Amino acid sequence: MNRRRMNKFAFLALCALFFAGTAAAKPGDTAKGKEIYDKRCTWCHGAEGDGAGAAKDMLNPPPRDFTSGNYKIKSSSFEDMAPNDDDIFRMIRDGMPGTSMPGWSDVLKEQDIWDLVAYVKTFAGYDEPPAAQVDFGTRIASSGESIAKGRKLYEEGDRCVECHGKSGKGSASKRLKGDAGERTWPRNLTKPWTFIGSSDPKDIFARLSTGIAGTEMPSFADPRSRKKLSIEERWHVANYVASLARTGRKVDAENTVIKADKVEGDLPGTPDDARWEKSTPSTFYLVPQLIAEERFFTPANDTLTVRALYNDKMIAMLLEWDDRTRSIPGDEAAEKLADAPIAEDGVAVQLPVTLPKGMEKPYFGMGDAKHAVNIWHWKSGAKGSTESIDLANSRGFREIEKRDAAGLKAKASYSDGTWKVLITRPLTTSSPDKDIQFTEGGFIPVAFAAWDGSNGEKGSKHTMTTWYWLLLKPATGTRPLVAALMIMGLFAGGLLWWARSAKPAA
C-alpha cells in the first residue's frame, strides 16, 4: 500500500516536471547546440561566436558578435546584459527583417533551437538567467490622446528627434556607431516593417526600456538618464512611434507598372505640387549593385517610390526616397555626419533607346552590346554648385557615351529625410535613333538606381532595381461606355421582343 502510494507520487512528480519543461524555455543541450551551430551559424557568426565568419564584411548590418554579450533585442531589464532564453529563441525562430538573419523554424525543430540558445549563451558566459525583467506595468492602448502625449515626449528636449528626426525617418543630426565600430543609422520609424524586433507597441516599449545594446540607442527606463520616461510615458511614446507608419510606401509585389495619368494643360513644375498626391505611386525595392566591379554590400537606401504624369508634349516623373542625409561634398555639417569622402546623392532612370519588340529587353545592368539604354542621372550638387542632370547612352558598364542633356530637366527638394526629384522630358526628341520616344498605351521597360553619398555610394557603388514598366495611360474616352450602353439596349430589347412574341395575348 505504502509502496503504491510512493509510486503514484513519483509518477505525478514526473508529470509535473514534464509539463513545467514544456511550458517555459526548455533546457537546451549545449553539445547538440554546438553541432547545429557549427553547421548552420559559423558562416556568419564565426566558429568562436565572435561575428568573424567568412561573410563578416559583406553583411549589412554585420553579424552579431556573441562574445560581446550585447543582445539588441531582449526583454530583460536594462540593468542586466544577459537576455532571456526566450529572446534568443525568438530571434533564431523568426529571424530579423532587414538583416541577413533568416528565421530558422522551417529547418530547425523547436528543441534544436533551444539547444542553440544554450550554446550561443556560452560565448558570453551567460549561465544565470537575468535577475530583472522589463516592467511593462499596465499596457496603455493606443488612442488619439495617447499618441498626442507620445509625440510631445518624443519631441521634448529633442529626446528622440536627436537621432530619429522630427518625422521619424532617422534624418540624423548625429553620427552613430555600433559596437564593432561600424557606421550605423538610426531606424526609419515610418517603415515599421524594417524593425528587427517587431513593430508591436509592446516590442517598441521593450526597446525604449532596454535600449539597444551595442548601439547608441539608450534605455529610457534608466533613472539616471536625463531623458528618462516613466512606464506610462513609454507606452505613449510606443503608441506614437507605431502611429508613424507610412504603409502606402511599402512595396506591393503585384504593382510592377508605373501608371502615368494624362494631364490637360501644364504638368506640375515642382516636386511638392499638390497634384502629385492624386497620381498613383509605385514603390520598388532597391538592391545593392552586386553584378559588376566594384560591388557594393552596405546600402542605406531600401526603396524608391515613383509617380508619373504626362500631357501632349512632356512627361514628368517624380522619384521619392527616404535618405537620412543630404550629402553635400564640401559642406562641413554634411561631412561631419559621414565617413569621408562624401559624394553627392543621386538617382538615375534607365530606359531602352528603342522599345523592345516581343519580350527582348536590354540587359538590366546598363544595357548590352545589341541594346543601348538611355540613362538620366541626377546629382544633388556639391557645396557652391547646383543640382544637375546628365544624359548618357550606354551599352553595358564599359561603353558609356555622354550626351547633351538638353530637354531633360530636373528639380529636387530635400526635406526631413526625404528626397523628391522631379524629372521632365519632351515625349519625343529630334534624335529618335538615340532617345526613347514616349507613346501612349505601350509598356515601356524602366529601371532605377540611387546613391547615398554619405554612405560611401559613388560610381558603381549604388543601389538599383530590376526592370519594371512605365505606362502612359491613354485617356479612356467614351467608347467603352457607349458600346456598353448599346449592348445593354440590344439585350434588353431582344429579351422583351422574345417575351412579347412568345406570349400571344392571354
- As measured in angstroms, the least distance from the Cβ of 233 to another protein is 35
Point out which residues bind another protein (CB under 8 A): 43-44, 53-55, 58, 98-100, 102, 104, 106-107, 251, 253, 256-257, 259, 284-288, 290-293, 295, 297, 359-364, 368, 371, 441, 443, 465-467, 469, 471, 473-474, 476, 479-481, 483-485, 487-492, 495-496, 498-499, 502-503, 506
User: Do 211 and 197 contact (CB within 8 A), yes or no?
Assistant: no
Taking Cα atoms as reference points, which of 450, 420, 418 lies closest to residue 319?
420
Element at 351 (helix H, strand E): strand 346-352
- What's the sign of the alpha-carbon dihedral 118, 121, 126, 131? negative
Which of 239, 374 has the CB closer to another protein? 374
Which of 114, 296 has the CB closer to another protein? 296
Residue type, 433: D
Taking Cα atoms as reference points, which of 328, 345, 349, 348 lies closest to residue 337?
328
* C-alpha cell read off for 350: 534607365
Which of 9, 297 has the CB closer to another protein? 297
- As measured in angstroms, the least distance from the Cβ of 491 to another protein is 4
Which of 69, 103 has the CB closer to another protein? 103
- As measured in angstroms, the least distance from the Cβ of 130 to another protein is 29
User: Do 100 and 51 contact (CB within 8 A), yes or no?
Assistant: no
Which of 165, 352 has the CB closer to another protein? 352
- Three-state SS at 44: helix
3-state helix, strand, coil in the chain (%, to 5): 30, 20, 50
Residue type, 393: N
- As measured in angstroms, the least distance from the Cβ of 473 to another protein is 7
- As measured in angstroms, the least distance from the Cβ of 476 to another protein is 6
Which of 24, 483 has the CB closer to another protein? 483
* C-alpha cell read off for 84: 532571456
Of the CA atoms within 13 Å of residue 99, those in its CB half-sphere come to: 22
Which of 337, 447 has the CB closer to another protein? 447
- What contacts 24+ positions apart, CB below 8 Å, involve 274-280? 275/309, 276/307, 276/309, 276/318, 279/307, 279/308, 279/309, 279/318, 280/307
- As measured in angstroms, the least distance from the Cβ of 475 to another protein is 9
Burial class (CB in 10 A: 0-12, 13-18, 19+), 406: exposed
- As measured in angstroms, the least distance from the Cβ of 504 to another protein is 10
